[in-house]
Amino acid sequence: MTVDLALRPSQRLRQAAAPIFHAVLEHPYLKKLAAGTLPRAVFREYVKQDWLYLIEFLRASAAIASRSPDAALMKVLLKRIECLVGMEHHFHHKHADELGLDFSSIDWEMNEANYAYTRHMLWAAHTGSTIEALGAMMPCPCVYIHVGDVLSNGPRRADRMYAEWIEFYGPGPLAERTRQLEAIFDELAARAGPDELARAEKNYVISSRYEWMFWDAPYRGRHWPV
């Protein structure tokens, strides 16, 4: 793959993961979600897994903030996670009753894809540099706003809950927040060495793969093979 050096560093990461972002959009889970034909049980399982994921995403974000050598950046990153702590305004919370889920009393466990994805993020957050850790963390918002953008521009959705999910990740504050995160990455990357950037890109590609697997697992009804 040829990489365009004129691109901003965050966009080089996106370019490296472009085939995976494409595969994500082609996955039957998202095709059916957009068409309103995704079985509710599959979506419900996804929401259950995603709740557990978001807790670890919060954990990884706090770790990255705390390990940032720059105090101003640490505060910016901590400010960003404040809205994640309660998740009161989040899609999951709003639809918990309708899906028959009680997030105050979790009685389910992570599936294989979720566990692998979050260990990758936590490993990067606890042992990598800020740049390497952001590389592992950024595909989640980047893939979601990409999906939200493409799907919200597609045909109208038959299913109200799926429509709201698409809207939640479509153009708006979440997309704006993600652009800010990429700007932070670009600023740090401008002062980083090539090995560190290569590791950040590798982490980004791997997290992008896990995004695909995250939807594939509930779609195929996969938990753990053993």
Interface residues toward a copy of itself, by CB under 8 A: 20, 23, 55, 58-63, 65-67, 69, 71, 74-75, 78-79, 81-82, 85-86, 112, 115-116, 119-120, 122-123, 125-127, 129, 191-196, 199, 206, 209, 212-213, 216, 224-226
Gap between the Cα atoms of 88 and 197, Å rounded:
35
Report the C-alpha gap between 215 and 220 in whole angstroms: 9
Cβ closest to a copy of itself, residue 5 vs residue 226: 226
Nearer to a copy of itself, 95 or 223 (CB): 223
CB of 137 to a copy of itself, least distance (A): 13
- Shorter beta-carbon distance to a copy of itself: residue 13 or 125: 125
Identify which of residues 82 and 97 has a Cβ nearer to a copy of itself in the complex.
82
| Minimum distance, C-beta of residue 213 to a copy of itself, in the bound complex (Å) | 6
Q: 167 or 196: whose CB is closer to a copy of itself?
A: 196
Q: CB of residue 160 vs a copy of itself: minimum separation in angstroms?
A: 30
Q: Which amino acid is at 92?
A: H
CB of 13 to a copy of itself, least distance (A): 17
Closest CB 114 distance from a copy of itself, rounded Å: 11
Of 4 and 82, CB closest to a copy of itself? 82
* DSSP character string of the chain: ----TTS-HHHHHHHHTHHHHHHHHHSHHHHHHHHT-S-HHHHHHHHHHHHHHHHHHHHHHHHHHHH-S-HHHHHHHHHHHHHHHH-TTSHHHHHHHHHT--TTS------HHHHHHHHHHHHHHHHS-HHHHHHHHTHHHHHHHHHHHHHHTSSPPS-HHHHHHHHHHSSSHHHHHHHHHHHHHHHHHTTS-HHHHHHHHHHHHHHHHHHHHHHHHHHHT-S---
For a copy of itself, the closer of residues 4 and 195 by Cβ is 195
Burial of residue 180 (CB within 10 Å: 0-12, 13-18, 19+) is exposed
Residue 70: CB minimum distance to a copy of itself, A: 8
**Closest approach of a copy of itself to the CB of residue 159, in Å:** 26
